[in-house]
A = this chain, B = another copy of it.
Amino acid sequence: MNTTQTQLGQVLAAGGPRLSRLLERTEARLAEIANSHGPELSRHSGGTLSAGGKRLRPLLVFLCADGDADAALRAAVAVELLHMATLVHDDVLDRAALRRGRPTVFADGGRGAATATGDLLFSRAFAELSQAGSADAVRALSAASSALAGGELMQRADAWSGEVTPERYLERCRLKTASLFEAACRLGALLGDRPALASALGSFGGCVGVAFQILDDVLDVSGPAERTGKPRGADLLDGTVTLPLILARERDEGLRRLDLREAVTEPAQAEAVCERIALTGVLEEARAEALNYVAQAKAALADLDLPEQRREALDLVADGVVERYA
Contacts and interface: CB of A to CB of B under 8 A. Distances in A.
A153 B41 contact: yes
A72 B93 CA distance: 36
A287 to B, nearest CB: 29
Contacts of A112: 93, 152, 156
A40 to B, nearest CB: 4
Contacts of A134: 135
A130 B138 contact: yes
Contacts of A25: none
Given A41-B153, A120-B150, A123-B142, 4 more contacts: A119-B122, A123-B145, A126-B145, A135-B138
Contacts of A126: 126, 138, 141-142, 145
Most buried by B among A89, A127, A133, A143: A127
A295 interface: no
Tell me whether chain A's interface is mostly helix, strand or loop, or mixed: helix
Interface in A147-198: 148-150, 152-154, 156-157
Given A138-B126, A138-B138, A152 B119 contact: yes
Contacts of A123: 122, 142, 145-146, 148-149
A92 interface: yes
A145 B150 CA distance: 20
**What 3 A-B pairs have minimum CB-CB distances, sorted nearest first?**
A120-B149, A123-B145, A127-B142
A141 B232 CA distance: 42
Most buried by B among A85, A109, A124, A138: A138
B37 A116 contact: no
